[in-house]
Amino acid sequence: MSRIELYPELQKKLYALKELEIPEARKEILQPLIDYIREKKRTDKEIRLNFICTHNSRRSQLAQVWAQAISDHFGIKTVCFSGGTEETAFFSSAIDALRRAGFKIDANNDTNPEIKVSYSEESNPLICYSKVFDSPVNPSDGFAALMTCSHADENCPFIQGAEIRIPLDYEDPKKFDGTPEAAGKYTERSDQIASEMIYVFENIR
């Protein structure tokens, strides 16, 4: 597929995130994901990534959105999903972090609302909401299970249908909810996830 042009503000954000230094320890964690995507691309098979955490409310949602936007931007055909070990709601502070980065958000006030997240004039918006990882809208086989939190990784030892399971384990910004640091910490986590997804997809040859 051809590269997709992102919204200008989001494109500017990506250029800035490329400058973030990724520690060698994190690069080692990301390498199995790079290898998985490379092999799928080499064999011309669909790349399906399911980002999984406990509540599917923060880290897994951020990872799904960033991975989809970045893979499209680099022209690497990928379908990204997310889910949890339980269903809650896409948390407002995580949504706000994406909005600050340059995504366009269309949300309502339902208990577990469907959030439309747009990143380009050239693609349809993502429909994001909290769901369990084995929801019917998620793949049942032929995908990579990417564990974005240690709790889900430890408490969900088997992911049916996953070809590979990779623990990414991002720190939870939830502990800053209701504090003056909350917005900054959500942006920090969003930026980390985005910079690592840039690193992954830049290294697909």
Q: What is the mean pLDDT of residues 99-115?
A: 89
pTM: 0.96
Tokens 């340059």 belong to residue: 102
Give the pLDDT of residue 158: 81
> DSSP state, 132?
B
Q: Which residues pair with 143 in a beta bridge?
A: 162
* Calpha distance 52→34 (Å, rounded): 18
Domains of the chain by start residue, with CATH: 8-19+48-202 (3.40.50.2300)
Among the residue ranges 118-132, 147-161, 177-191, the one predicted with the least confidence is 147-161
157 pLDDT more than 90: no
**Structure confidence at residue 31 as a pLDDT band (50, 70, 90):** very high
The per-residue pLDDT of the chain, averaged, comes to 95
* Calpha distance 159→6 (Å, rounded): 33
Q: Which residues pair with 115 in a beta bridge?
A: 128
